[in-house]
Chains A and B, each alone.
Chain A
Amino acid sequence: MSETPVSIPALLARNADRIGDRPANREKEYGIWQSWTWAEVAEEVEALALGLLDLGLAVGDRVVISGRNRPALYWAMVAVQRCGAVPVPIYQDAAVDEIAYQLDHCGAVMAVVGDQEQVDKLLDAAGDAAPLRQMIYLDPRGLRKYDHAKLTSFEDVQKAGRDARDRLLPELDKRTEALSLDDICVMLYTSGTTGRPKGVILSNRNIIETSKASCEFDHLTEAEDVLAYLPMAWVGDFIFSIGQAYWAGFCVNCPESPDTMQVDLREIGPTYYFAPPRVFETQLTNVMIRMEDATRIKKALFDYFMDHAQRVGPDILDGKPVSTWDKLKYRVGELVIYGPLKNTLGFSRIRVGYTAGEAIGPEIFDFYRGLGINLKQLYGQTEASVFITQQPDNEVRSDTVGVASPGVEIRIDDKGEVFYRSPGVFAEYYKNPESTADTKDADGWVATGDAGFFEEGTGHLRIIDRAKDVGKLAGGGMFAPKYVENKLKFFPNILEAVVFGAGRETCVAFLNIDLNAVGNWAERNNIGYGSYQELSQHPRVLEMMRDHVAEVNESIAQDDMLSGCQVHRFVVLHKQLDADDGELTRTQKVRRAVIGEKFADILDALYGGKDEIYTETEVTYEDGRKGQIKATLKIQDAQVFPVGGQVQEAAE
């Protein structure tokens, strides 16, 4: 085909034609990897699209998609596009009121969902007045007794579509052919650290141009294998599992269940992999915990070779000169440690790995790169169809986010905020012209809301913090909470940290322990505990946290600009911050303002000089019920360090 396809369905037709017998999707079901070729996917999508037409789906209608990553739900998105309608994937774990808002806002007439849980939520969220008139489900379990006036199984819709093929195919093909680059490809809700989620509209041009450029950047081909396990409502998953997959023609593999992700990862051995830092952190923590339980010889071997890997691994990966002796030792390490470890982690075949969304700890980053895994960072957002900057091979560092992606222009305004313009820039926020105008100017420049700067010499972008989070301390010093939080979170024992201090004399912090890491540590040290709350307030845990905070303070003190951000006092929270309680976004980002308000009593106690605080907190269970937890938290004073050069003396 000489012309560039102008829509996802057009790419599907191209793939079915060109590489029809190559695998497009795999899913593990009943213990076996089931697989579909591009030709089969084209047929499945067509059958579903015909069925949707039969149900009366009109051009421009919105269709909600919700559920865990399954091939059928990806097909549903493309089938909806074939009908000229708009797929709206939503977070499957969202609370009912969030879903209600999105349903109402996008006015969806149909939904394609995974199972009973999603059906229940949508039924609760929709109410009677909503335009939602048809729900299509994959897993019939538990739904037999439901009123089927509004409910149809995926298979039945496909069957109706196949039966009506002769009648409806001309109409379907007409609609698919009418799609242009400027038509809507998908609508995605941003998670929003503040306020209501916004519906970002991305056009076919956005998705196709971005996918094309990013595939070329990393030389992705039809031979790649990826594992789709991140939420389908997230722009990254849409780009990786649909945009790039359809552009390059590679295979998207879906795990058997959310709990089997690690096993499935190992079985598939993806060549191209994306994960937010927390996934890499968890994997590393698990490895370390298991090594603690290993025999002494194994542990010694592991320590010896991992030390070597940290030292020379990244250089070998980047092709920098390394002594022959070191290379040889690395080869032996590959044989006895790195190879088996990569196999256990599912990274044996990995060619390109990305992490984004949050800063990643340098030691975590070096761990994976030391093993020979080409892990890189990118910086992006929904409004950019993901890519703003990314790291080219061999120019990878943990503290930058790379250079502008192909086709992206970047500028930084005098306040330090990062702006970009690219073919991937979103069309608009749905039904929200004011926000659109606030974010995107007439020339197409988009404000990221992040403060950053270009590093001299390398030209790599460094992100400091959310622009609106960066503030001033009462003493005039710069306050960059994210910077401090990231440093704290690099400790495996700290899951989450929230730092406050804007307009105050000093900074204070809330910490969450990582139950996995701290629990294991407690077990090894014979520390008994009955609950998360009890463990979090254990004197030895508090002591450990004091050490961690002191270490972070010491490192912050060396930065002249940010030395005021040292944490003077902190508490270890009695509950884990949770998206269900509104404390995190669905993509697990901290909502500082919400947390500050919700735990105002604790914050007051931190600044009020008290030693402990009794608090009651409302928690929301997964099914929407609410409960109260009560706790008395001990407030901790942290060691702080004088600025800059005097650090040495202070430490002595």
Chain B
Amino acid sequence: MKDTADSHVTEDGRTIGGTLLDLRGITLRFGGVEAIKNISFDIRQGEIRAIIGPNGAGKSSMLNVISGFYNPQEGEVWFRGEKRPAMKPFQVARSGVARTFQNIALFDGMSVLDNIMTGRLNDMHAGLVAQMIWKGKAEREEVENRARVERIIDFLEIQHIRKTPVGRLPYGLKKRVELARALAAEPDLLLLDEPMAGMNVEEKEDMSRYILDVNDEMGTTIALIEHDMGVVMDISDRVVVMDYGRKIGDGTPDEVRNNPQVIDAYLGVAHD
């Protein structure tokens, strides 16, 4: 990033750079319902940024704004120092943003390998005929893309299910395959929508480990939505807290944890 003036190094030795994504005054309405009300926050290069909040707080909508699925009625999205015009999701994907879904969205009948290969779609440019006869560019591209995908398979330790149809996998592994597919796009910004929903403690620990490793080894910036407060507080650098479409807190896990408004929203009790 150009903006290195305010980059710093975290306690555990990672470098957090300047602003990668800046959301300014975002308001999103569905008819008369305001899902997001005038929210601003930024995501910095190299950090793990969590968005938390009770059900219906607008977290997923927020993620959908970032991924280009929704276009907000008001506000601006600045990405890499430039204001982003209204975009289609595939355009956003090409610009270096990848995501996973709250309800796993994989191709059940396809193998793990093929599913992850779809994450490389933006890097395949050979034409239909070239693909059919599989010569020249098509072959080169596939070999190169496969090599990258194999690195990710190795990284996430899913070699043993490489050829298994996704539909036959248990839930925890499907989540990992989804993460692999998102990583295959080699994103600058990775959006994770409840990566640990429905997992047991052990699976959560594994997933946390992988998220940290991705951030650490690949330098990927990560924005994630998560319900499990323990996990969020452990792995994030900064946390945005949302409630009823508004931002009620923003800061390090410690700051957020002691924020009275956040305590209210989560525990629903008045304090003196």
Residues of A near any B CB (own CB < 8 A): 29-32, 141-142, 144-145, 256-257, 259-260, 263
Contact = CB atoms under 8 A, between A and B. Distances in A.
Given A142-B216, A257-B157, 4 more contacts: A30-B153, A259-B159, A259-B160, A260-B160
A392 to B, nearest CB: 38
Contact of B146 (A31, A145, A263): A31
Given A141-B213, A257-B159, A30 B150 contact: yes
Given A142-B213, A144-B216, A30 B160 contact: no
Interface string B204-235: 00000000010011000000000000000000
Closest 4 CB pairs of A and B: A259-B160, A30-B150, A31-B150, A145-B13
Nearest to A146: B13
Nearest to A255: B159
B216 A31 contact: no
Contacts of A32: 150
B159 A256 contact: yes
Contacts of A30: 147, 150-151, 153-154
Contacts of A144: 13, 216-217
15 contacts: A30-B147, A30-B150, A30-B154, A31-B150, A31-B159, A141-B217, A142-B213, A142-B217, A144-B216, A144-B217, A257-B157, A259-B159, A259-B160, A263-B160, A263-B163
B153 A31 contact: yes
B12 interface: yes
Contacts of A257: 157, 159-160
A31 B162 contact: yes
Contact of A260 (B12, B146, B159, B216): B159
B63 to A, nearest CB: 28
Contacts of A263: 160, 163
Interface in B119-150: 146-147, 150
Contacts of B162: 31
B151 A145 contact: no
A595 to B, nearest CB: 26
Which of A31, A141, A145, A256 has the largest count of B CB atoms less than 10 A from its CB? A31
A76 to B, nearest CB: 21
Contacts of B153: 30-31
Nearest to B13: A145
Interface string B145-176: 01100110111010110110000000000000
Contacts of B146: 31
A260 B217 CA distance: 24
Contacts of B160: 257, 259-260, 263
A535 B146 CA distance: 43
A98 B202 CA distance: 25
Nearest to A30: B150
Nearest to A142: B213
A490 B213 CA distance: 44
A458 B147 CA distance: 57
Contacts of B155: 141
Contacts of B217: 141-142, 144
Which of B147, B157, B159 has the largest count of A CB atoms less than 10 A from its CB? B159
B211 to A, nearest CB: 13
A229 to B, nearest CB: 13
Nearest to B154: A30
Nearest to B153: A31
Nearest to A28: B159
Interface string B17-43: 000000000000000000000000000
Contacts of B13: 144-145
A530 to B, nearest CB: 13
A259 B162 CA distance: 11
A32 B213 CA distance: 24
Contacts of A260: 159-160
A145 B12 contact: yes
A161 to B, nearest CB: 26
A259 B12 CA distance: 31
A464 to B, nearest CB: 40
A418 to B, nearest CB: 41
A391 to B, nearest CB: 34
A487 to B, nearest CB: 34
B154 A29 contact: yes
B32 to A, nearest CB: 47
Nearest to B209: A142
A144 B217 CA distance: 8
Contacts of A259: 159-160
A256 B163 CA distance: 14
Contacts of B159: 31, 256-257, 259-260
A145 B162 CA distance: 30
A32 B160 CA distance: 13
Nearest to A145: B13
Contacts of B216: 142, 144-145
A259 B158 CA distance: 9
A305 B217 CA distance: 53
A144 B12 CA distance: 10
A257 B155 CA distance: 12
Contacts of A145: 12-13, 216
A30 B163 CA distance: 13
Nearest to A262: B160
A32 B153 CA distance: 12
Contacts of A31: 146, 150, 153, 159, 162
B103 to A, nearest CB: 25
A32 B154 CA distance: 12
A259 B112 CA distance: 15
Nearest to A32: B150
Contacts of A256: 159
A263 B147 CA distance: 20
Nearest to A140: B217
A396 to B, nearest CB: 33
A625 to B, nearest CB: 12
B169 to A, nearest CB: 13
B184 to A, nearest CB: 14
A137 to B, nearest CB: 14
Contacts of A141: 155, 213, 217
Interface string B88-102: 000000000000000
A145 B15 CA distance: 12
Nearest to A261: B160
B189 to A, nearest CB: 22
A145 B14 CA distance: 9
A439 to B, nearest CB: 41
